[in-house]
Amino acid sequence: MALGGDASATRTADSEAFAELLVSGGLVSPENLAFARQVKQRTGAHIDEVLISQGLLDSESLLIAEAHAWGIHPIDLAAVAFDEAIVRSVPGQTYLDENWLPIRRNARGAIVVATARGVSPDRESAIRTRLGGAELQFVATTSWEIKNACLRLFRAEIADEAANELWRQNPSLSARITFSRGQKAGGILSALTIIGLAVVWPVQVVIGVVTVLSLVFLAGTSCKFLVAMRGARYDVVERITQRQVDLLDDRDLPRYTVLVPVFREANIVGQLIRNLGGIDYPTEKLEVLILIEEEDHETRDAVLTSNPPPHFRIITIPKGHPQTKPRACNVGLYFATGDHLVIYDAEDTPDPDQLKKAVIAFRRGGSETVCVQASLNYFNDRENVLTRMFTLEYSYWFDYMLAGLDLGDLPIPLGGTSNHFRTAALIELGGWDPYNVTEDADLGIRASALGYRVGVINSTTMEEANTSIPNFIRQRSRWIKGYMQTTLVHARQPIALMNQIGLRRFLSFVLLIAGTPLTFLGVIPFYLITAVTLVAPTELVAQFFPVWLLWITLLNFVIGNVIMIYLSMMGPYKRGTFHLVLWALVNPLYWLLHSIAAYKGLWQLITKPHYWEKTEHGLTTHVQHD
């Protein structure tokens, strides 16, 4: 048993004597204590957690009171000098799990140990054993102080673990190496073969490549359409009803961690705190960890000055490479205490009951369900053409495609935010791959490959749609590059993957993950071929291509476009945003942007595979209304 988990023996903060101490010391009013007891009765949280999370007691006062109750002195860990040799004699994760931390030897040779729990004889004995049998002197601190101290003391290790743990666990699942040796050899061999053939039979090779691309295009779009059609079967049915949410007993709710990675987003920090403050979940069981890069002082200052609620905490991400969102999330995962965990972006506004719906979904899904994905949609859909197209795309993807994949028990590439995890399973999966720039999609596929299940819930997080084309291209190039990385990672052992997940899921993976970048890469060449065919005399074209083959190839491409337009029309149906339906006709132009982004992504995959193209947020002039 973890030492920190021995709550009955060590939670002085819950005893009546301690409660009276808080009142008699003037730290808490009798009314506030009565309120905390009510909340404890309802949610099962401890009195100190209630008081802190409700802002009725500050951490410093609690520390003083606890120290007094435990009969030891309080200490400010930010101001002490640690003996690194002693600290490093035990793994850092142990301190976080067990809520204690050695500081240094005192004048008597005893090791001074900071503890965030009361000191029972068992606890003292266990800690002494950990520290090699030395004499101990306890001082009181808080769990959060211990976490911050660990972050400082184990900065390099945490940074390294966040970046490389998955790589160490299983190099073949990490995108740290973009192309494996086999992929490089196969790629070079294929390229040489095609070039060789093209020298001898140039026209035939071009015909072959164009034909294959057109078939991939048609197969990719058709697959999406068929899956989305399946997802449309129950679009008007609420999977988790309001009644089921109402029936949840707060006492049974698990502890939840919300990770919010932010980077240079000082402009929307206020929005973040407002939006996440609206989540309907007992704050005593909720921790919001705002993950801020070490160098990003502006955002950190903005968070501090916006006076966040007590259950919001800042985690400073130690400098390291690659500087990506998944690396920050891995650091957050290191400090997360929730049984479940979710990621939101700074500008996200989740449905207030989203966490509760996720809890229900996890209970229904059984232990094999490792993650549930909520829908994403945009509040600024009417801002310009781009936001309309973006909303159409997200609507069909999250409301229909993911539902179809879920119904078909197919691998689900997770979307950037609002993915809820069982924390323990996420750790078992190796966390996020910091070298993959669509770490979310990769994690969904990895979970499937390892026999876990990813599901969806009928809850929505509203986001800000990209309003500017350059910003859009940057964002999409990253997404498409990430899909390429994910394809390369999971295609390292294609036969093994197929055996592991079955042919049906494998084909779904190929068409959705590998097919998507290929489809986008094919758009510009096919537009050009169509334009040339329309302009050039048929006789001229016929000299190079058999007319019937070119006709069928272009038919595949145009029909593929028609299917995608039609698929986009499906998007608005679930939410009744019918004003968007006609905009689906603009899809071919929207795809042109995707294609440009795909070529940029391909170039970056070769030149700087781990580079994180940052998407600017807070560009919208629209305001979200409830």
Which residues, at least 6 apart from 473, have a Cβ–Cβ distance to it below 8 Å? 593, 596, 597, 600
Give the residue among 264, 336, 335, 260 at the shortest CA–CA distance from 294: 264
Min CB(584)–other proteins separation in Å: 8
Judged by CB under 8 A, the number of residues near other proteins is 45
- Phi and psi dihedrals of 475, rounded to 5? -65, -45
Q: Which of residues 200-229 bind other proteins (CB under 8 A)?
A: 229
How many whole angstroms separate alpha carbon 466 and alpha carbon 325?
Answer: 18
Q: Is 533 in the site for other proteins (CB under 8 A)?
A: yes
| Bridge partners (DSSP) listed for residue 460 | 375
Q: Is 247 in the site for other proteins (CB under 8 A)?
A: no
Which pair of structure tokens corresponds to residue 172? 């073949």
Give the residue among 258, 310, 432 at the shortest CA–CA distance from 50: 310
Q: Is 616 in the site for other proteins (CB under 8 A)?
A: no
Residue type, 33: L
Are 166 and 430 a contacting pair, CB within 8 Å? yes
Which residues, at least 6 apart from 449, have a Cβ–Cβ distance to it below 8 Å? 411, 490, 497, 500, 501
Q: Is 528 in the site for other proteins (CB under 8 A)?
A: no
Which range of residues in 98-106, 317-325, 345-353, 552-560 is near other proteins by CB under 8 A? 552-560
Are 376 and 401 a contacting pair, CB within 8 Å? no
Name the strands in the sheet holding 111-115, side by side, starting at the edge strand that comes first in the sequence: 73-74, 136-140, 111-115, 100-105
Which CB atom, from 12 or from 568, has the smaller least distance to other proteins? 568
Which CB atom, from 179 or from 527, has the smaller least distance to other proteins? 527
Which CB atom, from 541 or from 592, has the smaller least distance to other proteins? 541
- Could you give the string, one character per residue 327-366, with x where binding to other proteins holds by CB under 8 A and - elsewhere? -------------------------------------xxx
Which residues, at least 6 apart from 313, have a Cβ–Cβ distance to it below 8 Å? 144, 287, 288, 289, 290
Which pair of structure tokens corresponds to residue 340? 């479940």
Q: Is 405 in the site for other proteins (CB under 8 A)?
A: no
Which pair of structure tokens corresponds to residue 444? 């969904």
Member of 20, 280, 301, 368 binding other proteins (CB under 8 A): 368
Q: Is 17 in the site for other proteins (CB under 8 A)?
A: no
Q: Which of residues 454-513 bind other proteins (CB under 8 A)?
A: 455
- Phi and psi dihedrals of 567, rounded to 5? -60, -40
Q: Is 297 in the site for other proteins (CB under 8 A)?
A: no
Min CB(231)–other proteins separation in Å: 8
How many whole angstroms separate alpha carbon 373 and alpha carbon 344?
Answer: 12
Which pair of structure tokens corresponds to residue 534? 């329309």
Member of 236, 495, 503, 623 binding other proteins (CB under 8 A): 236
Member of 566, 599, 602, 614 binding other proteins (CB under 8 A): 566
How many whole angstroms separate alpha carbon 35 and alpha carbon 55?
Answer: 12
How many whole angstroms separate alpha carbon 520 and alpha carbon 337?
Answer: 41
Q: Is 244 in the site for other proteins (CB under 8 A)?
A: no
Q: Is 230 in the site for other proteins (CB under 8 A)?
A: yes
Q: What Cα–Cα distance (Å) separates residue 26 from each residue in 56, 72, 140, 142, 577? A: 12, 20, 20, 20, 55
Q: Which of residues 576-615 bind other proteins (CB under 8 A)?
A: 576-579, 581-582
Min CB(592)–other proteins separation in Å: 17
Which CB atom, from 201 or from 234, has the smaller least distance to other proteins? 234
Which CB atom, from 99 or from 369, has the smaller least distance to other proteins? 369
Which CB atom, from 114 or from 580, has the smaller least distance to other proteins? 580
Which CB atom, from 303 or from 456, has the smaller least distance to other proteins? 456
Which CB atom, from 225 or from 612, has the smaller least distance to other proteins? 225
Residue type, 231: G
Member of 78, 200, 237, 623 binding other proteins (CB under 8 A): 237
Member of 205, 314, 554, 593 binding other proteins (CB under 8 A): 554
Residues lying near other proteins in the complex (CB under 8 A) are found at 229-230, 232-237, 239, 364-366, 368, 400, 406-407, 455, 530, 533-534, 538, 542, 546-548, 550-551, 554-555, 558-559, 562, 565-566, 569-570, 572-574, 576-579, 581-582
